[in-house]
Amino acid sequence: MKTILIIGAGKSSTALIDYLTEQAKPKNRQVILADISLDLAEKKLKGKPQTKAVSLNIEEEEERQKLIKEADVVVSMLPAFLHGKVAMDCLAFEKHFFSASYESEELKVIADQVRKKNLFFLNECGLDPGIDHMSAMRIIDHEKKSGNEIVLFKSFTGGLLAPECEDNPWKYKFTWNPRNVVLAGKGVSRFIRNGRLKFIPYHMLFRRTEKISFEDVGDFDGYPNRDSLSYRKVYGLENIPTILRGTLRREGFCKSWDVFVQLGLTDDSFQMDLPEDFTMRMFINTFLPYHPDKSVETKLMEILPHLDEDTMNKLEWLGILGHESLPRFKGSPAEILQEILESKWQLLPNDKDMIVMQHQLEINTGQGQKVITSSLVIKGENQDQTAMSKTVGLPLAIAVDLFLEDRFSSRGLMLPIHEEIYEPILKELEKHGIVFKETETVAQT
């Protein structure tokens, strides 16, 4: 009997847990689900046969290593910064390792040891990264085999609200980690366009968007991710003149979010200690020039001359220009802003989330140039069966299942960019409704 250890029973783990536990008995496997909350782990397992819930404090080395020793494969659904502890234990005790997170520098250092021990360490097998890699590589490999040249590749992904649940002016609520949303885009975005390197500093990022359209769910703002350049090598497109990976928000969101960026409200580099009578309006005013008579609204429009009525309506809806008390008085500006937003962008019981992803490719063929647009739209069912959980958890669960079925011959530190990995995973995802819709246009020479 093979034993699967899943560490982490959070929201994004639901689909993964369901998929692997449903197969436990028919495939003669045991699934151990470890979480700091035993009650949560037990609820996620739903009493299914050949499953076991355990309480685990990931910082307790002896406890953690005891569980890892019992397993054949280990799936880490922890926050990304904790994967290293688990991966190092897996290396020491020669256990296979799976995660949906980016392949870290910490893991790259041990790549040779992983390969020498004939272990399979698969990372970036969730949504983004994950489904984006696999669906892109399916197209890229096909076009290369056809002798065609890819001259443009763009890929955008967003975790958003289903259109029927967009009940506020921002058309947005937190469907994943709020802190990551508030800090999104920090640093400098790097990509290449028509053979020219391009860099966008954070303070300009939300002004440099492009419109991305979906047939069924409308228009979105796409802004560049921090690093697109490294994907030239990952995707085998070293000489491509244009490559960009980005994030999607509903059209108009970025223009309004830029107000917070320009004022400094997304700054996480220093701590504020405000008086306990501070209101949200006073919080905003601390980031504006002093004037004895001018209102907050006037000063906002003076310092941000492109501020329009739509953006002002969004700010007013948040209550951030009002006289309500701040929800917290100590913390970085980003932490205080996050708490303000959490009360307004909280998912309601009947809200459904949505994942949108789109690849755009321009390809030179013997008959001329063609354009491929490959789009994915997935809507959640409810607060437990979310689109985010489905698209993050299912690819990883399928990868674990296929590995235990001896479907992968590769070993070492891996990404799902190889056909033997991505093709069967994508085929299984299609059975669960995760299907890309492709359109292709050809310009005849």
The domain ranges of the chain are 2-123, 131-253+351-384+437-444, 257-344
Q: Which two tokens stand for residue 67?
A: 């569980």
Q: What would the DSSP string read from start to end of 147-213?
A: T-EEEEEEEEEEEEE-GGG--STT----SS-HHHHHTTT-SEEEEEETTEEEEEEHHHHTTS-EEEE
CA terminus-to-terminus distance, the chain: 60
Which residue in this structure is represented by tokens 């065609």? 148
Determine the pLDDT at residue 239: 94
pLDDT of residue 196: 97
- How does pLDDT run across 302-355, given as a tens digit for each residue? 999 889 999 999 999 999 999 999 999 999 999 999 999 999 999 888 999 999
pLDDT of res. 102: 92
Specify the residue for token string 């980690």. 177
Own/partner contacts of 213-217, CB < 8 Å, gap of 24 or more, are 214/356, 214/358, 214/375, 214/377, 215/375, 215/437, 216/377, 217/163, 217/354, 217/356, 217/377
Cα–Cα distances (Å) from 196 to 31, 128, 371, 436, in that order, read 50, 26, 21, 30
pLDDT digits (tens, 9 = 90+) for 213-244: 999 999 999 999 999 999 999 999 999 999 99
Sign of CA dihedral 342, 392, 222, 351: negative
Q: In the prediction, which pLDDT does 11 show?
A: 85
Tell me the H-state helices in 27-110.
38-45, 61-70, 83-92, 105-109
Three-state secondary structure call for residue 440: strand
Question: In whole angstroms, what is the distance from residue 352 CA to residue 384 CA?
Answer: 10
CATH topology of domain 257-344: Domain 3, Saccharopine reductase (1.10.1870)
Q: Give the per-residue pLDDT at 219.
A: 96
56: which residues sit within 8 A by CB, 6+ positions away?
7, 34, 35, 36, 63, 64, 67
Report the pLDDT value the prediction gives residue 175, as an integer from 0 to 100: 86
**Residue 402 in tokens:** 């296929």
β-pairing, 368-379 with 120-122? unpaired
Domain 131-253+351-384+437-444's class? alpha beta
CB neighbour burial string for 121-131, b if at least 16 within 10 angstroms, e if fewer:
bbbbbbbbbbb
Which two tokens mark 237?
Answer: 């497109």
pLDDT for position 384: 79
How is residue 102 written in tokens?
């980016």
CATH 3.40.50.720 for domain 2-123? yes
Token pair belonging to 432: 């669960």
Enumerate residues 6+ apart whose C-beta is below 8 A from 425.
Answer: 125, 134, 395, 398, 399, 402, 416
What is the C-alpha to C-alpha distance for residues 158 and 181, in angstroms, rounded to an integer? Answer: 11
CB atoms within 10 A of CB 144: 14
| pLDDT computed for residue 443 by the predictor | 61
Beta strand pairing status for 188-193 and 196-201?
antiparallel
Exposed, middle or buried by CB within 10 Å (0-12, 13-18, 19+), for 116? exposed
* Intervals of the chain under pLDDT 70: 443-445
Q: Locate 19 and state its tokens.
A: 């998929």
Closest by CA to 120, choosing from 423, 357, 436, 406, is 406
Whole-structure pTM value: 0.92
d(CA 42, CA 39): 5
Kindly state the tokens that stand for 137. 């590589």
